[in-house]
Amino acid sequence: MNLDKLKPTWEQFKVINAMDEMDESDILSCIEPKKQEYYFKIPKRIAQNALIFSFLIMTLSGGCSI
C-alpha cells in the first residue's frame, strides 16, 4: 500500500481535531497538581475508619444479655 496516498487525509484529520479546542484553564488543570483533593482524602478515610470502629466497639463490647 502506498502510504503517501493517506497524507492528505492525515492533514485533514489534524485540522478536524484542532477544532476540539482546549482553553487555558483546561491545559492548566492538567499540569497543576490538585493539592486540595489530596488533603481532603485523608480526613475522609480517618472518619470512615472511626465510624466503623466505634460501631464495632458499641455492638461487640456489650456482650450477650440473654
Partner 1 sequence: MESDPKKLFVALIRQNQGIVNSLCRLYATSNEEMKDFRQDVLLSLWKGFPQYKEESKVSTWMYRVTLNTLISIYRKKKRVLLTEPFSESVESLHFQNSGSDDDLLVLQQAIGFLKPLEKALVILYLEGYDNKEIGTMLSLSETNVSTKLNRIKTQLRKTVKTLQNESR
Q: Where do contacts with partner 1 occur on this chain (CB under 8 A)?
A: 1-3, 6-7, 9-10, 12-22, 24, 27-28, 30-31
Q: Work out how close the CB of 9 gets to partner 1 at its nearest, in angstroms, rounded to a whole number.
A: 4
When the beta carbons of 18 and 64 are compared against partner 1, the nearer one is 18
Q: Where are the alpha helices (DSSP H) in the chain?
A: 7-18, 24-31, 35-60
Q: Work out how close the CB of 25 gets to partner 1 at its nearest, in angstroms, rounded to a whole number.
A: 9
Q: Work out how close the CB of 27 gets to partner 1 at its nearest, in angstroms, rounded to a whole number.
A: 5
CA distances (Å), origin 18, targets 33, 51, 62: 26, 50, 66
CA distances (Å), origin 38, targets 15, 42, 46: 38, 7, 13
